[in-house]
Every structure is written in C-alpha cells, then in structure tokens.
Structure 1
Amino acid sequence: MVQRALRSHHLPTVRRRIFRQLLESLLYEGVLKARSEADGRSAVDGVDAQGRPVRYVFTLGDPAYGFARTRIVRDPLLRVSENGESEAASLTGFLTEIREHLGGVTDERIEGFSRELEETLVKDAVAQCAREERDGRLAEADYDVLEGMVMDGHPYHPAYKSRVGFDLEDHLAFGPEFAQPVRPLWIAAHRSLTTAVSSSTLDGAYLRGQLGPAWDAFRQELDQAVLRPEEYELLPVHPWQWREAVAVPFAAHIRDRKIVALGTDPHAHLAQQSIRTMACQEAPHRDYMKLSLSILNTSTSRGLAPHTVTNAPAVSDWLRGIVASDPYLRDDLRVILLGEVRGVAVAPEPVSELVRERTYGRLGCIWRETLDGRLDPSERAVPYTGLIARELDGTPLIDPWVRRWGIREWVKQLLEVSVTPLIHFLQGHGIAIESHAQNMALVHDQGRPTRVVLRDFHDGVRFSRAHLADPATAPELASTPSYHANRNSFVETDDLDLVADFFLDAFFFINLGELAMFLDDVYDYAEEEFWSEVRAAIAAYQAKFPELADRFALFDVSKPQLDVEQLTARRLLPDTELRLHSVPNPLHGPRAIREA
C-alpha cells in the first residue's frame, strides 16, 4: 500500500495541496511577503544550500470576499534556479531556502514543522490511495462511518494529517480513513492517582451499562489480584497510547499495581475524524469515548489535559441546562448537544517538574453522549466537514441536496439552522462555542437542513462570567495550570473581544468561510451573496429578540475587524504569546434585507 501510494498520482496531488495551504497561510498571516514578477505572477525569494539565489513562483488569485483570505490559483508552485524552472518538490527545502524571510525562525522550529509537513504528505497520499481502492460512497454511509470517510482534514492548516508519533503501520491501523476496528484496553487506576467526575444525570451503574458483562469480568480481575475494586477507577486507553506513552512513564505505578491492565473492550470501535474519539459500531447505544493520544496533529498535541477532563461534565450540564430552560433553543431550534457525561484523568504528581510532561495528559478519557436515538425517523446527520467533501468522481456530497432544493433555498435554510443557535448562545447567553466543522454536525431531512448537533465542550467554550445572562448557573471550573503549554487554551476571560472572536474564528472564519469559497467555486454561488445571507440570518435573529439589544452591542459580531489565530505562524514562532492577526470581517456592512 505505501509503495503504491508513493508511486501514484496521489503524492504530487497532495504535495501541491500542502504547498498551496502553506504558502497561502504564510502570506495571509503576514509571516511572508511576496513580490510581483513582470509576467503578473508572484514570487518569494530564497537561497539554496550553496548560497545561490532561487525563487518560488506562483499565481495569486483575487482575495476571498470572506476575511480577505489569500488564495493561490491551483497551479503547481514552481522553483526557479540557475538550472531552470521546475515544480517545487521538497517541502523541507522550501522552508529552508526561504527561512531568511520568516522572521528569525530557529533551526528547531524549521525541523519540527517540516517534519509535520513531510508526515502529512506521506500519510495523506496513503489515505487517498486507500480511499480510491476501497471506492466507498459518502452518500451511502451512516454518520459514524462517514466521520472516517470525510478525510480531507483541516482546509487551512498545512500540516492537516501529520499525526507525528504514528508510524505508517499505526496510520493504517488507527487512522479513521482506513476504518479498522479498534479495541481499547481497559485499565484500573487507583483513586490516589485519579480525578473522576460525572454528570449529575448519571448514576453509579453507568459503566456497567456501557460495558455489560465485561464490567463484572474486569472487577473480578481486581479481586483475583487481591485488590479492592472500590479503590480503583476504570477507564479505556488507546492501544497505541498504552504501548508508546503509558507503559514506560507509568512503569512505577504499574509495578506497584496502582495501574492494572484488565483486558480489551468487548466491542470493536471505529476512530472518528479526530482520531482519538471512538464510536462503537457493534453497540451504537454506547457513548463515544475520547481518549488521550500523545500524537501531534495539525501542530497540536492530542492528549487530554486533566483540568479539561475535570471540567467536561460540569460544562455539559451547564449548557444542557440552558437549552432545557430556553424554549427558543429547546423547542424552536431543537438543537442537539452531545454532552460529556463522565471524565477520568490519571495525573500522578511527578517526581520532578522537569519530567511532568512525560505523564501530563497521557491517561484520560471523556465519555460523550452518542447520537444514536437522538434523531427523528426521517432525519440523518452528516459531519459539518462533509459539506465540502466530494465523492471519488468529484461530485460534492451535498450535490443531490443542492439540486433538489436549489442552491439559494438550501443555503438560506442551512444558515438559519446553523447560525441562529450559536449566535443565541453568544448574544443571548454570553457563551462562545468553538464551533469549527469538526465540532458540529448538520441534521437534514432528505438534504434539507433541519437542525445542528454541537459537541466537544470540555475546552471548546469561552465566556466572561460577569457578562453571562445568568452568572449564578455557571459552574466553578478548574483553572488552566501554569505549565499547560497551549496559551490559547482557556475558558474564562474578562476580555469580551476574546469571547466573541473565539466564536467568530472557529465558526465563521474556518467553518463557514471554507463553505462559502467551496460554493463559489463549485456552484458559482457568489461569496458576497453567501455572506449577505449570513448577515440576514443574524438580523432576523436579532429582530426576534429586541430586548437583547444591549447584548448585541456587547458581543459585537459585525465589527469591522476581528482577531483570528495565526495557525502557521504559531508553529514557526515561539509559543510565548497568543498568535493573532486582525482581518476584515464579512459580517460588517449594511444589513441584508430578505424579501418575505
């Protein structure tokens, strides 16, 4: 499989995509400047290993209407040297040759990021080759299977499938695209090492209901080891994680029987698009399990920080309580929240701060409610990432829906069911939800959007307690520790711009921004019209709630500029501060008026 992929047409196709996303993001984030060539093309200058000048040549298209995103015409990036002009073939070579224009980036940063790009190249080529050989149709897949089949990854971040830590055998075994059954290992961790928190909706029989007879079998394992089951918490571990990230750093605890391996899960699971979340195909009533996974993907570690595991059930209970008490969310929009109902984190105190990272976030699980049984008989769900996915022949997954309902009616309905609940959470309640495409699903009836599914709240909300509509209901949350590496990972802030921009960045900039460009490219549905419809959906919502006028101003989504995260710059520059840049906001401007 690997050799076939690397010798196939998929490798240069994937490489061109990575180059395009890399160059677009570097230019857009202001890390790199291009100059104009006499023939109308653009170029970036560099120097090769022998000190000779080279330049990389490409064609810039018009900036996107939404957020003025930089767009490169999808021609190959060309490398021009004294030996002539040829297609750029080395991602590492590109970064190395242009590094003098990257603002003093270190060797370590170049090496690390180039590795992510090279890993993405090979792993995506293998995945695309496997998909072609499997020839599965997106339109025929159910939701949990579709999660793995929608495999294009982050549409902006260039290291969208790096999975650093997985070798190619791991990639084939655990990558969601390959739909291989995964059986998590269950362990018992002594309560002196763990924090376990459950939703107020759960009773003590939750895990027994999830595991069935295996629950009793696991407890018998502890009995036979002359250990007290009541002194241990049970949790699943990803097989790769146990092998690569648990056995050695937790060796002392395993030796002392504070951590005990019990056996594999009784059911096979499928990895979802986040890789670390498991869906149980054999028993769909079981909840999803989000597992610590110490790989690096899209430049972010996929461990589970203990404070986020601890906060998960409290945040979900809070949000579900808001929906239950708000007739607009509950009855009119019928929004579905997949609550995080239980969290267990294994977090022993390290022998030294120097080695904390060896165990921090390495062992944990968050149980998330299943979507099974939550839809009406005529409804189906599709990951929001699927809205820009294509079948192997290039046909968009949404094509039958667009043709049935018409592009304008379909977009209008999509925005009404998608934008409105999220705006209401923000402006009505003061809560920003990080609703990028991987955290949302669209529910539809024969392609007509009916409502949305929201999920992944443990580190995916942001608010200012003083500006909540009902501060008394907000839970007290574990704070982010000083040694937590991600400076952009926080839930509470006094800065209302950071609240609004958190939502605007995830939902509008990446999620709807990509959809708008996709519809323009494929259906000639102009971005300007798309964003006019977005503004109209927001205006229609605000007209329903004139009593919230002060809060519309407080959480201003139509301000001229907003700050979005510099995803590529963050990987190249020191991670000592928030990496944000200001971009024009397509929600700013005259409010659109729809005809009734």
Structure 2
Amino acid sequence: MKATLEPLDLDRDLALVHAWVTHPRSVYWEMQGASVDEVAAEYARIVADPHHQAWLGRVDGEPAFLAETYDPAHSPLASLPEIAPGDLGMHVLVAPTDSPVPGFTRLVFRAVMEHCFADTSVRRVVVEPDVRNDRIGAMNAAFGFVVARVVDLGSKTAALSFCTRSAFEGPTAHLSPERLATAQRHLVAKAISEYAHERIVTPVADADAWRLAAPDGGSSYTFRARRLALEHWAIEEDSLTRWVDGAPADLDVQAFVAEFAGPLGIPDPLLPTYLEELASTLASACWKLAHSSASVAQLLEADYQELEAAMTEGHPGFVANNGRIGYDLADYAAYAPETGSAVRLEWLAARRSLTRLSLGQDLSEARLYDGELDASVRASFSAVLRGLGLDPDDYLYVPVHPWQWRHQLAITFAPDLARRDLVHLGTGPDDYRAQQSIRTFFNTTRPERHYVKTALSIQNMGFKRGLSPRYMAATPAINDWVHRLVEDDPTLKGCGFTVLRERAAIGYTGDAFHALDVRSPYQKMVAALWRESPVPLLSRGERLASMTSLLHRDASGAALVTAMIEASPMDASGWVRSYLHAYVRPIVHCLLAHELAFMPHGENLVLVLRDHVPVRALMKDVGEEVCVMDSSIAVPEEVERVRADVPQDIKALALHTDVFDGFLRHLAAILDTDGVLPEAEFWAEVRRCVEQHAEEHPELAAQVEAYDLQRPEFRHSCLNRLQLLNTLEMVDITDQASSLQYAGTLVNPIAADRHEVID
C-alpha cells in the first residue's frame, strides 16, 4: 500500500470530509454535529491561512485520511514556552471504517510524519491530542513523540507532545550509503590535502591531474587540484577516484589510512584508536548532511548559537576532528554542538576543604553564584544539603556535564559521594548549548551569564577533554593580567581587540587519585570554569560569529564568507582589510610589543560583525593557551605559569603556523576558489597589514627585526603529525613547544621580496 498527500480541494472533497469529521468515531476531532456549511467555513479558513494547511490523503489512490499542518507560533500554542523555531504542528484523521485493515493507521501516520519532515527546516513535529485519547497517545509514542506536559487549550485538556526528526527517523537513519559516500569523498580529499601539505604523502603530476600511489602499489588515487600558497592542495572533490588493482573502487578514509599506515607513522597500538576517531568523524559528517540544512543565505541572518550549531568542518587542519570517543547515539543527539540541543548541567556540592575555587579580580564567591544561580535555585541546593544533615557553608557548587555525571562521577567517585565529600544537587534550570569545542556551554536562557567549561572524559582530537584543578588554579589571575595588558594598550584598544576572561575556576581534589604521585586523567574529572559571555559587549547593530564560520560551506557547497562579502557594503579587498585589522594586527602587536602569544585558531576567536563585516575580535580560552615567550620578562608571581623561554626562531610561529598556516591558508583558498579574491591579492593584504603595523610602531623596530615576520621561509610545524604520533595525548600542555613536529620549511607568503604565490 502506498499513501500520498495532496492539498485539500473543498469543491471536490467537502462531502467526504464532512462525513469523516462528524462521524461518531471522530469525536476527538471536535466537529460532532457540525453542518456541511460549518465544515466548509472551517476548512475555507484553514485553506486561506498562510500558516495552516489542510491535506487530503490517499492510499493506493483512494481517499483515506485527512491531515493538517500548521505553524505553532501562529496558533493557540504560540504562548507556550516549549514552542521553538523549527516546530511544525500536525493533526491526522484516518477515515472511519467498519472494516479496519491491520497496520493501516500506522501506514497513514508514517506518511504524514514523512510529509512533515520532508521540509528540511522542520526540527520537531508538535501534537496536542486530548488526554483521554489513549489510542492516539499510544500511536504518538510509537513514532517517537514525548509528552512535554498537559496543557489547557480551552476546548480540551491536551497532552502537548514533541517528536524530533531523529526520534522519528531512528538514531542511525543518517547513516545511509549516499551520505556515507559524500562524507567519505570529502574526508579522503581532506586527508590527501592535509597529509600532502604536511609532506607525509607526495602526489605526483599525471597529465592534467595528480596521482597518489599507496606504498604497496595495490591502490592509488587520482584527482585534479591546484597548489596554492603554503603548499595548500585545493582538491576538486568530484574528480577524486580510488583505484584498486586497476579498477575504480569506493572511497574509504579508514582504508586510505590503513594503506598509508607506514608513511603516516601511527604507532601500531594506537592505529585502531585513530580509525575509531575517523569513524566517529564520518558519523558526524553523515548526521550533518542529514540535518544541517541551513543555507548560507539563512546563516547570514542567523543568531550566534544558530550559526555555531550549523558549522560542519570542526577543524580545517585535522583529519580526525570529531572523535568524541565515549558518546553513544543518545549522547551524540543530546550533546554534539551540531544538533543544537538544549543541555541542562548537573550540579554537585563539593566539600570546601577539598576543593579549590579561584576567583578573578573584584569577583567574590557570593557574586559568582548570585550571577549564575537564581536565589530559588541556591535555596533548593541548600535544602538538599540540610536534608542530609550537612551545612551548606561547608560546600562549594560545581557545574558538571550530564555525561560526566552519569558515566564517570556517579561511579568512579562513588566513595566520595558516599562520604558526602561530593553531593549530587540535581539538574540546573538554565538551558545551554554546546560550542564547537564540545565541553564549553553557552547559556541560552540567560545569554549574559558566563560560558561554562566542564571536564569531559571523552577522547576527542588527540586528547581526553578533562580539566586539571591544579593547572586551572591560576587561570583567573592569568586572565586578569592579560586583560589588563590588553586594555591598557592603545593599539589593541584601537583594534577593538579584547579577551573574554575566565573569571572563576573550581576543582575538587579530595579523591583517591589526587593522593597519588603519578598524574592521570582521573585527576581531571571534577572541575569547571566560568568565562565571560560576549553578549554584553555588543553595541547596537553588531552580531557575533565564531571565526571558524568563515570556513563554512553549506550543503550546496556555497561558502559563508563569500556570502558575507557579497552582502556587505565593501569590496573583497576592503572586507579582508577590515578582518585583518581585527584579527592579524592584534596578534602581531601582542607578539612584538609584549612577547605574548595566544592560540588564535577559529574556535578561539569570536568575531563581531557589523553589516556582515568583521570589525573586531574577542579572544577566548586564554588561561590554557596564552604564553609569554621570554623568560626574562617579569610577570606577577601568580601568573608565572604563562612564562616560557622560547627560542627566537620558534616565536614567530605564533603567527606563521597558528595564523597563516592554521587558518588563513584555508580562508585564502576559499576566496580564490570562489573567484572572490585571488590569493596573491589576499596575501598582499596580509603583508600590508604587517608592514603597516611596523611603520606605525617605530619603537618596535628591534622586535620587528628579531621576529622577522617577513622572512623568506619559516619552519613547517605540523598538526596531523602530532595527532598521528600520539592519538591519546598529542602534546604536553605544560610544555607545548617541545612537542612540535616539523617537516622542513614553508615559503612565507608575505616575504618582503615576494610578489607572487605558487601556481
């Protein structure tokens, strides 16, 4: 049997619809006793309403059911707090019959749900059946609806229920052969591009294309590509073909890694872990292909968190960039940033004598908790403690990731919970959204409240994502020191550059693991920090966007940065010039004036946009990433951790590797490929930005000479080589410089005597 839907035609269908909706079995349709004229008037109103549609359903061509869809925001449900953008309301009535066919109603219901979700902008279907209608309630539950609550709609008491796309389609519906093929093609192309960039593999010219042969000669890859500045391989994904024993074969990034395992140099015991991270990256890509439907035109007007959830790349350099080993299917749906799911954090009380709370300047414990937790929430927390015979004054409050609570803390820290050194207080009331960095959350209920960064013991992109209480103890002081330095510098102020301070850090150390001399991930499981929100820093007419969004392409391949430039009042050169003034100029100035280096990759920068143009940048993740690269520079004792003695030839890599190679080469490639701005002109703008800073700061001439930012070449520091060497912990965070992996040198695209780039 096949079910179809078509718009209701009142001239043709009125008599049939009247008979259906007034039938005694249709009592919950609320039209018992209605006349033909009354039914006609009701459905004429629906047909004329742009927010409400009526559909006639057929099974094998015969009229068999009636359906309605509507926008809940323009309905009696509009005032309910549960209603959100992306919701679609639905009603369905199966034609009453004295000879029901087994499975018929399920066939109809599925057809209506598929019709609803055929619109890719629909995230949830909403229904509000009468609470007495047990049969439709059971059908709703069978198709994935969850009752949110009972509501009074006047004419009925209804069970307000929602069904997400993933709940209806099933947890693995995104894993289709077609989506996998698309994801594989992109990831194999990225693997070849990035491994070739890092000189791990070496494609060779083959007529008008390139060929890369596996070491054993059994397989090879052919493709068309352009080589751009910084040895960036812009591969035409559609041209990529895998050959096995001379015949075309399916692209498979795990097979690719296995074929090239020797050159990649992954230690044998860690190869399965890397393959698992690749599998997870593919799964994430398939989910995004199924659900991330926003076009760049829509993203131009999206708010900060809608834009954050729409991102598809993760990290432009790393091949295995969405590992998330530890999440199951439900965890992915609940916590992956691309799902845009609302997350409510769990809260623990940690015994004060066993817990370290570090606070930023002018921030007290009371002010921190007053700002983050309403008085009623704090009162409920106190009541939990008093109910256990405990004094609330003996405890500090720690936000924890829900996954961390269920999978780690409730079990691994069972003795601490039993001793009441830790007490579970319950779930907080605020909704948060996970950021691209996975364990950091933005408060959507109260956007002016702090970001919350939590410990999360999953494996993701070369690390277990824990937080060390010992390491974080100095974080607020470091942030305050950097913030003062930035705020007191006229050049940085002139760029609008600032840092989002990590204002407080907390960590529990009363467990058995902290009593050991050996350091381990178990010492990084109960900790959190609070970082300033960028929302209060906005002026009228300004919007926020993670810098990683500049590298985003939508499902059609359209680039967001291209759309931004086209929508802005500037030409491409002017747009890039404004962006570099907001981003590159402050990084250069911090290096030359203060010997201060950040980790300024896409996820760590929040751009402030005006008329789609970046006008200033906000740096985050300061406490963990910042470094003063001269051991002779005096710093306050409490921030001594940030000081390091970095060799002079390595210092400039804070610009060359972290900015040029880590981000700008990808942006330049998009603009060049899209025909927006030739890469030679892009790098000329970067060179102009660096030279202009030097001209305007003659007092820094000695530093300009020492750093030699326009040197002909610089050392080629490689990210994937780090991850391939140790997929579990790719760098020692306390001594990152010593962990770096190099592959010769790269030609500097802004070299003083360089006037063109590689063809």
Q: Residue 338 of structure 1 corresponds to which residue in structure 2?
A: 500
Q: Residue 195 of structure 2 corresponds to which residue in structure 1?
A: 26
SS in 2 for 1:476: helix
Instruction: Tell me if the contact between 2:562 and 2:671 (Cα under 8 Å) persists in the aligned partners.
Output: no
Q: Residue 215 of structure 1 corresponds to which residue in structure 2?
A: 378
Offset of residue 449 of structure 1: 2.7
Q: Residue 450 of structure 1 corresponds to which residue in structure 2?
A: 615
Q: Which one of 228, 236, 251 corresponds to residue 64 of structure 1?
A: 228
Q: Residue 482 of structure 1 corresponds to which residue in structure 2?
A: none
Q: Which one of 253, 260, 267 corresponds to residue 98 of structure 1?
A: 260
Relative to 1, partners in 2 of residues 1:201 and 1:273: Cα closer, same or farther, differing over 3 Å? Answer: same
SS in 2 for 1:5: coil
Q: Deviations over 1:501-536 (max 9, x none)?
A: 134322221222211111111134111111111010
Mean CA deviation greater in 369-378 or 557-566? 557-566
Mean CA deviation greater in 56-65 or 378-387? 56-65
Q: Residue 151 of structure 1 corresponds to which residue in structure 2?
A: 312
Instruction: Tell me if the contact between 1:295 and 1:301 (Cα under 8 Å) persists in the aligned partners.
Output: yes
2:581 corresponds to 1:419: no
SS in 1 for 2:746: strand
Q: Residue 346 of structure 2 corresponds to which residue in structure 1?
A: 185
Instruction: Tell me if the contact between 2:347 and 2:398 (Cα under 8 Å) persists in the aligned partners.
Output: yes
State how far apart, in whole Å, the 1-side matches of 2:481 and 2:408 are: 33
Relative to 1, partners in 2 of residues 1:35 and 1:394: Cα closer, same or farther, differing over 3 Å? Answer: closer
Relative to 1, partners in 2 of residues 1:478 and 1:258: Cα closer, same or farther, differing over 3 Å? Answer: farther
2:159 corresponds to 1:4: no
Q: Residue 159 of structure 2 corresponds to which residue in structure 1?
A: none
State how far apart, in whole Å, the 2-side matches of 1:94 and 1:8 are: 18
State how far apart, in whole Å, the 2-side matches of 1:364 and 1:478 are: 22
Q: How does 1:311-390 map to 2 (within 5 A)?
A: 311-330=474-493, 332-347=494-509, 348=511, 350=513, 356-390=519-553
Mean CA deviation greater in 70-79 or 404-413? 70-79
Mean CA deviation greater in 517-526 or 70-79? 70-79
Mean CA deviation greater in 201-210 or 304-313? 304-313
> Residue 515 of structure 1 aligns to which amino acid in structure 2?
L
Q: Deviations over 1:126-183 (max 9, x none)?
A: 1221113999931232113322222321122111222111122211111111111100
2:204 corresponds to 1:43: no
Offset of residue 325 of structure 1: 1.7
Instruction: Tell me if the contact between 2:455 and 2:465 (Cα under 8 Å) persists in the aligned partners.
Output: yes
Q: Which one of 523, 534, 554 corresponds to residue 686 of structure 2?
A: 534
State how far apart, in whole Å, the 2-side matches of 1:219 and 1:561 are: 61
2:631 corresponds to 1:462: no
Offset of residue 356 of structure 1: 4.8
Q: Residue 167 of structure 1 corresponds to which residue in structure 2?
A: 328
Q: Residue 196 of structure 1 corresponds to which residue in structure 2?
A: 357
State how far apart, in whole Å, the 1-side matches of 2:275 and 2:618 are: 36
Instruction: Tell me if the contact between 1:37 and 1:43 (Cα under 8 Å) persists in the aligned partners.
Output: no
State how far apart, in whole Å, the 2-side matches of 1:401 and 1:79 are: 35
Instruction: Tell me if the contact between 1:316 and 1:341 (Cα under 8 Å) persists in the aligned partners.
Output: yes
- Listed as ranges, the gaps of 5+ residues in structure 1 are 48-52, 480-489
> Residue 508 of structure 1 aligns to which amino acid in structure 2?
F
Offset of residue 4 of structure 1: 3.2
Instruction: Tell me if the contact between 1:277 and 1:289 (Cα under 8 Å) persists in the aligned partners.
Output: yes
Q: Deviations over 1:95-135 (max 9, x none)?
A: 223334444x4322221111111111112211221113999
Q: Deviations over 1:181-236 (max 9, x none)?
A: 10010001123432221101312321122101212221232222222323322110
Instruction: Tell me if the contact between 1:16 and 1:76 (Cα under 8 Å) persists in the aligned partners.
Output: no
Offset of residue 354 of structure 1: 9.2
Offset of residue 312 of structure 1: 1.8
SS in 1 for 2:318: coil
Q: Deviations over 1:48-74 (max 9, x none)?
A: xxxxx5122222523221x22234332
Q: Residue 238 of structure 1 corresponds to which residue in structure 2?
A: 401
State how far apart, in whole Å, the 2-side matches of 1:570 and 1:400 are: 34
Q: Residue 406 of structure 1 corresponds to which residue in structure 2?
A: 571
2:649 corresponds to 1:497: yes
Q: Deviations over 1:235-275 (max 9, x none)?
A: 10000011122222222211111111111112111111111
Q: How does 1:91-130 map to 2 (within 5 A)?
A: 91-103=253-265, 105-130=266-291
Greater relative contact order, per chain length (Cα 8 Å cut-off, separation 6+): 1
State how far apart, in whole Å, the 1-side matches of 2:354 and 2:715 are: 40
State how far apart, in whole Å, the 1-side matches of 2:294 and 2:534 are: 30
Relative to 1, partners in 2 of residues 1:325 and 1:20: Cα closer, same or farther, differing over 3 Å? Answer: same
Instruction: Tell me if the contact between 2:602 and 2:663 (Cα under 8 Å) persists in the aligned partners.
Output: yes
- Listed as ranges, the gaps of 5+ residues in structure 2 are 1-168, 732-738
Relative to 1, partners in 2 of residues 1:375 and 1:494: Cα closer, same or farther, differing over 3 Å? Answer: same
Instruction: Tell me if the contact between 1:308 and 1:458 (Cα under 8 Å) persists in the aligned partners.
Output: no
Q: TM-score, normalised by structure 2?
A: 0.71
Offset of residue 409 of structure 1: 1.4
Mean CA deviation greater in 244-253 or 132-141? 132-141
State how far apart, in whole Å, the 2-side matches of 1:340 and 1:252 are: 31
2:712 corresponds to 1:560: yes
> Residue 542 of structure 2 aligns to which amino acid in structure 1?
E
Relative to 1, partners in 2 of residues 1:230 and 1:251: Cα closer, same or farther, differing over 3 Å? Answer: same
Relative to 1, partners in 2 of residues 1:420 and 1:101: Cα closer, same or farther, differing over 3 Å? Answer: closer
Instruction: Tell me if the contact between 2:464 and 2:521 (Cα under 8 Å) persists in the aligned partners.
Output: no
Relative to 1, partners in 2 of residues 1:517 and 1:232: Cα closer, same or farther, differing over 3 Å? Answer: same
Relative to 1, partners in 2 of residues 1:558 and 1:318: Cα closer, same or farther, differing over 3 Å? Answer: same
> Residue 121 of structure 1 aligns to which amino acid in structure 2?
L
State how far apart, in whole Å, the 2-side matches of 1:531 and 1:133 are: 31
Q: TM-score, normalised by structure 1?
A: 0.89
Relative to 1, partners in 2 of residues 1:498 and 1:445: Cα closer, same or farther, differing over 3 Å? Answer: same
Q: Residue 131 of structure 1 corresponds to which residue in structure 2?
A: 292
SS in 2 for 1:328: helix
Percent of aligned positions that are identical: 29
Q: Which one of 282, 290, 293 corresponds to residue 453 of structure 2?
A: 290
Q: Deviations over 1:375-419 (max 9, x none)?
A: 111211211111122344444334454223111111122112221
State how far apart, in whole Å, the 1-side matches of 2:241 and 2:517 are: 45
State how far apart, in whole Å, the 1-side matches of 2:555 and 2:243 are: 34
Q: Residue 549 of structure 1 corresponds to which residue in structure 2?
A: 701
Offset of residue 329 of structure 1: 2.0
State how far apart, in whole Å, the 1-side matches of 2:383 and 2:583 are: 48
State how far apart, in whole Å, the 2-side matches of 1:394 and 1:22 are: 19
Mean CA deviation greater in 133-142 or 185-194? 133-142
Relative to 1, partners in 2 of residues 1:565 and 1:165: Cα closer, same or farther, differing over 3 Å? Answer: farther
Instruction: Tell me if the contact between 1:336 and 1:454 (Cα under 8 Å) persists in the aligned partners.
Output: yes
Offset of residue 549 of structure 1: 0.7
Relative to 1, partners in 2 of residues 1:167 and 1:519: Cα closer, same or farther, differing over 3 Å? Answer: same
Q: Residue 412 of structure 2 corresponds to which residue in structure 1?
A: 249
Relative to 1, partners in 2 of residues 1:444 and 1:41: Cα closer, same or farther, differing over 3 Å? Answer: closer
SS in 1 for 2:523: coil
State how far apart, in whole Å, the 2-side matches of 1:459 and 1:547 are: 30
Offset of residue 39 of structure 1: 7.5
Relative to 1, partners in 2 of residues 1:496 and 1:135: Cα closer, same or farther, differing over 3 Å? Answer: closer
Relative to 1, partners in 2 of residues 1:232 and 1:493: Cα closer, same or farther, differing over 3 Å? Answer: farther
State how far apart, in whole Å, the 1-side matches of 2:395 and 2:458 are: 27
SS in 2 for 1:419: helix
Instruction: Name the count of aligned residue pairs.
Output: 570
Q: Residue 578 of structure 1 corresponds to which residue in structure 2?
A: 740
> Residue 696 of structure 2 aligns to which amino acid in structure 1?
K
